[in-house]
Chains A and B, each alone.
Chain A
């Protein structure tokens, strides 16, 4: 049997994602990719994968799946969640681990990811990645374009995702230390490109306002609720292209921040654009969170991008080996039900 992960429950919405599909927006193909590329890279780093390897992106409620491979190495990064590892489909309880670590799992084991806390997304990488053919250079799921990922859609129960590796490499497990994936409230943005559609004091009001992330948000856009922003004249523009992080203001004055799956073109004025260094933190923000925006100059934005790129390069340096307890001790402790199987580096 080919090595695979078999989906028992997809959670709220679980999709295959990587860093997206740049280069084809002129054809109407969305950029797509992970909402939180930093967490995706962290998951891949823990799994020993190149940074752009396709992983599962779970939103709000995680999936459950069975390991249909001799063994496999998984890694979890992103929001907090209780991840249960059960010995088989009939087991009632098992070992529970936290994200930001790798773990080896065996054939027949069931991995059950619960509700996410303090974030909208959790990334589940598997060592070697999934055996899925890329479309236009990417395995990211494009649900609107019905392409990429697993059959161009979110996962459903019964899906069998083929793995590239039949077994896990013999190596230690790692956790990641000192990578800040916590939610933040303030995002930096460069005014424009359509700031002339708004009076100056209206732009000032936008940057002073506090918004709540609406439940209507999805991978295309984060809808915000708060004091409406008024347009100077009209709210219709002749469609132009959209950048990820663009904050468009439709007729009702409630801003929408365009996220990874945004359409390539659109017809509302854009008051500001969130800087590239803040897009990961924005993407992980859950429904109900409070947000505000702070204006930043292009020079400052460029400096932030440089810092951000350097921080991405340092993710690999934050891996810490999880020392396994000696086999004899571990099995005795497990027999006595004294440890839950969560090993700590300090142990």
Chain B
């Protein structure tokens, strides 16, 4: 069985920690536990927050004392490998045009690739959504091919536009809102990852994402349709995988 530690984060939250690295095996365990606890609808659990390598469980100790919660977590951990982690598969249009990709040439130079090769490498893999965090709807997607792995900018930008597609180390993100940012910006996504009107996130942890390059003209069309509310991106399929 996968090893895990249960750590107190104050008196109303616990962290179930599976390790301190970023990989899909740990992530799948985190997400399996999250989905397992959710399915049980345990009274006293307020919410769970999956991250790369741990699950935070917020709880009401006056309803569910810590030792009872730990017992429920241990119980779920025994079923971990028997459970399928479910998510959606998405084809997410992104535009790598230099109009948006302000760091594309710089990334190409740093990686000794052409801009076209950077785009090909970035849009090649199927990304795994590890977690959402930092901003509403902001999905951390990995892994960016090793050739494109770069440290963050020395000096973060004070502002980048909403929808910016960016990379740093092994992660790729679409920033749903205007924000300060130290990542390398290589494009823009016309589909809002956070729907303000409905207050919903497009992507969820455990989803799989492939970036589909679109032209600047297609980008404009998609943005217009999205702003008119007639564009609704649907997942291409469902996905289910077991914990290794």
Contacts and interface: CB of A to CB of B under 8 A. Distances in A.
Interface of A: 22-29, 135-136, 142, 144-147, 189-194, 237-246, 263-265, 270, 273-277, 298, 301-302, 304-306, 309
A264 B9 contact: no
Contacts, number: 142
B2 interface: no
Nearest to B60: A305
Interface of B: 7-13, 15, 17, 20-22, 34, 46-56, 58, 61-62, 65-66, 131-138, 177, 179, 194, 196, 199-201, 204-205
A193 B11 contact: no
Given A25-B47, A273-B8, A136 B134 contact: no
Contact of A26 (B9, B53, B62, B132): B132
A303 to B, nearest CB: 10
Nearest to B138: A28
Nearest to A21: B199
B61 A302 contact: yes
| Most central of B22, B54, B200 by chain A CB within 10 Å | B54
Nearest to A306: B62
Given A26-B34, A26-B47, 10 more contacts: A26-B205, A27-B137, A136-B199, A144-B177, A192-B8, A193-B17, A238-B52, A241-B51, A273-B10, A306-B62
Contact of A243 (B22, B58, B138): B58
27 contacts: A22-B46, A23-B47, A25-B47, A26-B132, A26-B205, A27-B132, A28-B134, A28-B137, A28-B138, A29-B136, A192-B8, A193-B7, A238-B22, A239-B51, A239-B131, A240-B52, A243-B9, A243-B10, A246-B9, A264-B133, A265-B134, A276-B12, A277-B11, A302-B62, A305-B61, A306-B62, A309-B62
Contact of A28 (B12, B62, B201): B201
A23 B46 contact: yes
A276 B133 contact: no
A240 B53 contact: yes
Contacts of B53: 238, 240
B171 to A, nearest CB: 10
A133 B184 CA distance: 37
B62 A305 contact: yes
Contact of B54 (A136, A240, A302): A240
Contacts of A135: 199
A27 B65 CA distance: 26
A18 to B, nearest CB: 16
A21 B17 CA distance: 25
A25 B137 CA distance: 10
Contacts of B52: 238-240
A191 to B, nearest CB: 8
A301 B200 CA distance: 35
Contacts of B8: 190-193, 273, 298
Nearest to A23: B47
A243 B7 contact: no
Contacts of A309: 62
A25 B58 CA distance: 10
B62 to A, nearest CB: 6
A276 B10 contact: yes
Contacts of A298: 8, 11, 66
Given A190-B11, A264-B49, A265-B134, A241 B54 contact: yes
B20 A265 contact: no
B11 A275 contact: yes
Contact of A192 (B9, B66, B177): B9
Contacts of B62: 302, 305-306, 309
A240 B51 contact: yes
Contacts of B205: 26
Given A135-B199, A193-B9, A241 B47 contact: no
Closest A-B pairs by Cβ, 10 of them:
A273-B10, A241-B56, A265-B133, A193-B7, A301-B11, A241-B49, A243-B13, A243-B9, A28-B132, A27-B201
Contacts of A239: 51-52, 131, 133
A193 B6 CA distance: 9
A246 B10 contact: yes
Given A26-B47, A240-B56, A263 B134 contact: yes
B165 to A, nearest CB: 17
A19 to B, nearest CB: 12
Contact of A273 (B9, B17, B51, B137): B9
